[in-house]
Chain A
């Protein structure tokens, strides 16, 4: 072997080692984050966390009942708002794929997806908080919904495009209108994938804090009123993380653990469903 070849081979193994090392480097923070969230969170997580209200600052114990219910309400409102819009615009993008409007809608969806979540918060503050001079659960849900729409729309589009054209044509040949063909044949056969998209969207927004800071704000009390400020797990974790009290830090870690479990469960569910779907379509 000449010296040049040896040098080239050495350089090549160095490169392979660098690539392998970068995977490890990326896994280190993942392991650290998960380790600390689980180890710190589990200590403070108990039944009271789910069933009790926060205690006054400085006292020990208490839970985050109001924040948990608040988060559920906010995500529910977001879904209520985003699911119909997301699915229907997704149907438009796939059924009229070649049209100029469809490309424009696709561009808008991708743009919306890239808008920083804090900017969504500022926008919703301007249209849903300022005019009514009132922070509210509705405003918070709207902000989360705006973030869900592009995810649902793009997943719906991609999955409908996977449905074989022959199925659509079969329905049309039997005399169905385009609407009927889409809603009774195309959409149902992609239903599982569309639901996966919704679960993914929930996984992504359930952990959002920034768009809620000045829309839903926060609330120390239990409420289900949609026109009132409402607490959420994420904003509450943020508040506790900034407090000087150790007991509130414990609560923050417990909240973080619950968030991570929710988000990871949703991601795993979606991933499992996607894999089954891939198995179906590749046949």
Chain B
């Protein structure tokens, strides 16, 4: 397609430079975050991620509680969201009548369109009181189980995990749906021809699509890791490492949102930027892995059909 001649070279160069700008932008984000957190990297090294004390006033910076909170809340959210998302994907692509399909697709996409701050506001005033009620109704005898220790505030890990799960569902389910679409129809027909029940045929399809399914779950994981506003409003913002679902905890994104504009001391600022750097690297790795898995599955089949453009899918 590439033409020859002077005008064409200028065109290629011109648009190419803008393309290159995107590549540079990603590189610059990495380099800048690294450069601006150098003070902290140099001073604390790996101990930064191994110590638990976060006391900016005393100049002690240990980021373990934040990475713990981010991973714990995201994993809990995935545990809730994954079965539901896959159920939705299967229902929409395999089970539901064609007429209501677009309606369900639209409704699940609405979940992705609602701004994070709105989820947060709803979380603070509606979800948290409900969760507090749930937590107080936990029988006393369970209190010795590590997951249920501590006073029931409502604000805490459980609320954060629930709200994250809701926010992750539309992403995972829409990609899982795409992936299921890429499973050849013959594969399912074969299963039915052998006398398989729906459950057996669909699990076979899910098994066939397993790489893509894992990719869709990872995509949701990437979203959960970086989610900021809704989480910071309901998690309690207390830097500590605890298994308890009731405990007020903190995440990497939340500490940035809360403390960044107050960080006057250069070391403090550098420590916060280092948290941002590591969050950037983790999400980069998770997202790249997810994309590779989804591509290996859905690319060859996706090419000939018209690309439906919507927020959730362009996010993939």
A interface residue numbers (CB < 8 A to B): 8-9, 11-12, 14-16, 18-23, 25-27, 29-30, 32-33, 36-37, 40, 84-85, 88-89, 91-93, 95-96, 101-102, 104-105, 108-123, 125-127, 130, 146, 149-151, 153-155, 158-159, 161-162, 165, 168, 172, 177-180, 182, 193, 196-197, 200, 203-204, 206-210, 213-214, 217, 234, 237-238, 241-242, 249, 252-253, 256, 259-260, 263-264, 267, 270-271, 274, 278, 281-282
CB B60 to nearest CB in A, in angstroms, measures: 21
Contact A200 B310 (CB under 8 A): yes
28 contacts between A and B (CB under 8 A): A8-B199, A12-B199, A14-B199, A33-B119, A33-B122, A88-B19, A105-B20, A111-B288, A115-B29, A115-B280, A116-B226, A118-B228, A127-B28, A162-B306, A177-B7, A178-B2, A178-B8, A196-B309, A197-B314, A209-B115, A209-B116, A209-B228, A241-B120, A241-B124, A252-B121, A267-B109, A281-B306, A282-B306
List residues of chain A with CB within 8 A of the CB of B166: 26, 29
Contact B95 A153 (CB under 8 A): no
Contact A238 B229 (CB under 8 A): yes
Per the 8 Å Cβ criterion, residues 86-145 of B in contact with A are 86-88, 90-92, 95, 104, 106-111, 113-122, 124-126
Choose from A93, A125, A126, A256 the contact partner of B19 (Cβ within 8 Å): A93
**A156 to B44 Cα, complex, angstroms:** 45
- Given A116-B279, A263-B113, A278-B308, verify A217-B121 contact (CB < 8 Å): no
List residues of chain B with CB within 8 A of the CB of A18: 87
- Given A102-B19, A238-B229, verify A217-B261 contact (CB < 8 Å): yes
Interface membership of chain B positions 187-230, coded 1 if the CB is closer than 8 angstroms to chain A and 0 otherwise: 00000000001111010000000000000000000100111110
Which residue of chain A has its CB nearest to the CB of B27?
A108
- Asked if B57 is at the interface of the complex by the 8 Å CB criterion, the answer is no
List residues of chain B with CB within 8 A of the CB of A154: 314
List residues of chain B with CB within 8 A of the CB of A159: 307, 309
List residues of chain A with CB within 8 A of the CB of B5: 177-178
CB A278 to nearest CB in B, in angstroms, measures: 6
- Asked if B181 is at the interface of the complex by the 8 Å CB criterion, the answer is no
